[in-house]
């Protein structure tokens, strides 16, 4: 045998380069405000700057870091900029980044309890912490018949909710034979597109997802839901799943959970609640009213990776009856059999979601909760909401603008009174300036600007500057 040779990074080199990368990250956060928020590259430019072929010989990490600055950063839209007000946030924080780094270092694949007990038990524990932290019902605790799991995204967990609902409604027959086109799901016409995708993937079919009308506040009309369910029943169809939203993507509308939940209970329909971004607001008791009625839900999803300072990806999914979820997704091939699973005393999270493999995501969430404490998390969420409310007041005071929807939390939907074209032009100019980034939606078929305050490092100063820039550009229309 020839003498051993290695291409691997030694622990000593890792220590050295690790420090360089951490320094790079700290520097990035220090200068992030000076970078244009929205990337200005033209399609294909990043690839043009990259070699056509992979390097035959390994390169120095210094060179790679230089390329991060030279090649990659121009193509980055700075989601972590305090001037990012677009979409919903996908915020990061120091403790989350460090927790994620440790998760990468441990490199655990936590598909079964047995493949790393800490990965499963920390996850169960942190998800149990969140139940009282968010004022969620006790039935979502792992010590009850329910429990929580971390998934990649709200899209995946809403799909899992739909699958479990499908199986419960068909007595686990559709898992064996497929769907027969009779199952009908419901959500509002303002719900996130992930529900439509779930209906496609779950074999329900897009045409069998009813998009229920909304009221003037863009919230689902429970009377319309009830009528539609009755109509479908009379046609021999089987209503099996309703998804209500707490904080819709377009306008942060709040569906009336008590009325929707009561309909679901009466008709034996699975009731899912999607609180992807707004769920984080319930860290503060004064905002828990937004989820009144969640005690009627069969499942609930929210994303710490949006507004809770935990970098992507981290979604928390809760069910009231974990058996329904596990019976839907469980498959136990011979090569995964082990005594812990067989004993029934442990959770094997591979049965709670779609992939088999899973990362140690709870580490970053655990770090965030411990570093900030409930008090710190509440403080920053309250500040974001106060700043958005202040922004909404400024909009109201400027008679060139109007609010386009209620502003219960941290999203302000507004528009210039001079029509769609001017609003589009205003948004493009602001975004091209690099000073801030905001996005749009259509409400009542009118072009509407969305201004969401939720980025980790946004302060009063950033919101003031943004409003000043909006006013300046409006003056040039």
Q: Which residues bind ligand PLP (CB under 6 A)?
A: 88, 153-155, 192, 194, 245, 248-249, 274, 276-277, 303, 315
d(CA 153, CA 103): 18
Edge to edge, the sheet with strand 411-416 lists 401-403, 411-416, 446-452, 439-443
Is the CB of 154 or the CB of 162 nearer to ligand PLP?
A: 154
Shortest CB 311 distance to ligand PLP, Å: 13
Nearer to ligand PLP, 385 or 474 (CB): 385
| Closest to ligand PLP by CB, 253 or 346 | 253
Q: Indicate the residue among 225 and 474 with the shorter CB distance to ligand PLP.
A: 225
Residue 251 CB neighbour total at 10 angstroms:
24
Q: List the one residue out of 468, 386, 459 whose CA is nearest residue 433.
A: 468
The count of C-alpha atoms lying within 13 angstroms of the C-alpha of 420, restricted to the half-sphere facing its C-beta, is 7
**Residue 116 or residue 248: which is nearer to ligand PLP going by CB?**
248
**Pairing state between β 209-212 and 183-188:** parallel
Least distance to ligand PLP from the beta carbon of 225, Å? 18
Beta carbon nearer to ligand PLP, 228 or 250 = 250
Place of tokens 């244009």: 36
Element spanning 307, H or E: helix 304-307
Shortest gap between Cβ of 222 and ligand PLP (angstroms)? Answer: 18
Q: How far is the CB of 159 from ligand PLP (least distance, A)?
A: 9
Q: Which is nearer to ligand PLP, 170 or 282 (CB)?
A: 282
CB of 254 to ligand PLP, least distance (A): 11
The residue among 276 and 395 lying less far from ligand PLP, judged by its C-beta, is 276
Give how far Cα 264 sits from Cα of 98, 148, 159, 330, 382, Å: 42, 21, 18, 26, 33
Tokens (6 digits) for 137 = 């019902």
- Residue 123 structure tokens: 């996850």
Least gap, CB of 88 to ligand PLP (angstroms): 5
Closer by beta carbon to ligand PLP, 228 or else 243: 243
Q: What's the min distance (Å) between Cβ of 303 and ligand PLP?
A: 5
- Nearest CA to 276 out of 380, 155, 190 is that of 155
Interatomic CA distance for residues 212 and 310, integer angstroms: 33
DSSP state of 157: H
CB of 277 to ligand PLP, least distance (A): 5
- C-beta separation of 324 from 171 below 8 A: no
CA distances from 423 to 397, 400, 469, 471 (A): 18, 11, 14, 12
Which tokens in the block code for residue 195?
């529900």
Whole-Å CA distances, 413 to 251, 293, 381, 416, 430: 6, 26, 19, 11, 16
Closer CB to ligand PLP, 232 or 274, in the complex: 274
CB of 275 to ligand PLP, least distance (A): 7
Least separation, in Å, of the C-beta of 192 and ligand PLP? Answer: 3
Q: Are 72 and 336 contacting, i.e. CB atoms less than 8 angstroms apart?
A: no
């Amino acid at each position: 045998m020839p003498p051993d040779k290695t291409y691997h990074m030694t622990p000593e080199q890792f220590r050295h380069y690790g420090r360089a990368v951490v320094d790079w990250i700290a520097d990035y956060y220090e200068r992030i405000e000076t970078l244009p928020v929205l990337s200005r590259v033209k399609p294909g430019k990043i690839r043009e700057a990259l070699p056509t072929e992979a390097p035959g010989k390994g390169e120095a990490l210094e060179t790679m870091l230089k390329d991060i600055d030279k090649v990659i950063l121009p193509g980055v839209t700075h989601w972590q900029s305090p001037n990012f007000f677009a979409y919903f946030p996908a915020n990061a924080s120091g403790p989350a980044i460090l927790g994620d780094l440790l998760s990468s270092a441990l490199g655990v694949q936590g598909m079964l309890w047995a493949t790393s007990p800490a990965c499963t038990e920390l996850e169960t524990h942190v998800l149990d912490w969140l139940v009282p932290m968010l004022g969620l019902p006790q039935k979502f605790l792992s010590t009850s018949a329910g429990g929580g799991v971390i998934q990649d995204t709200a899209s995946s967990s809403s799909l899992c909710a739909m699958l479990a609902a499908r199986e419960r409604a068909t007595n686990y027959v559709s898992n064996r034979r497929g769907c027969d086109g009779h199952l009908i799901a419901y959500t509002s016409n303002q719900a996130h597109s992930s529900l439509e995708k779930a209906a496609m993937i779950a074999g329900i079919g897009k045409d069998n997802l009813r998009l229920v009308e909304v009221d003037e506040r863009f919230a689902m009309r429970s009377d319309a839901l009830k009528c539609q369910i009755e109509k479908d029943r009379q046609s021999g169809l089987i209503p099996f799943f309703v998804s209500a939203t707490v904080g819709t993507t377009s306008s942060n509308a709040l569906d009336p959970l008590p009325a929707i939940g009561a309909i679901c209970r009466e008709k034996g329909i699975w009731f899912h609640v999607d609180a992807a971004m707004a769920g984080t607001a319930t860290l503060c008791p004064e905002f828990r009213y937004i989820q009144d009625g969640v005690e009627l839900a069969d499942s609930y999803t929210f994303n710490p990776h949006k507004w809770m300072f935990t970098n992507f990806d981290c979604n928390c999914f809760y069910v009231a009856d974990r058996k329904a979820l596990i019976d839907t997704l469980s498959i136990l091939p011979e090569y995964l059999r082990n005594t812990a699973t067989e004993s029934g005393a442990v959770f094997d999270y591979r049965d709670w979601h779609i992939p088999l493999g899973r990362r140690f995501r709870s580490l970053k969430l655990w770090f965030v909760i411990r570093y900030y404490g409930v008090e710190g998390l509440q403080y920053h969420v309250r500040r974001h909401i106060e700043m958005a409310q202040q922004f909404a007041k400024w909009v109201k005071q400027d008679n060139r603008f109007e609010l386009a929807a209620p502003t219960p939390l941290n999203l302000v939907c507004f528009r210039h009174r001079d029509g769609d074209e001017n609003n589009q032009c205003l948004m493009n100019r602001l975004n091209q300036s690099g000073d801030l980034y905001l996005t749009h939606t259509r409400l009542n078929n009118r072009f509407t600007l969305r201004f969401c305050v939720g980025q980790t490092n946004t302060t009063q100063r950033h919101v003031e500057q943004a409003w000043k820039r909006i006013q300046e550009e409006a003056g040039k229309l």
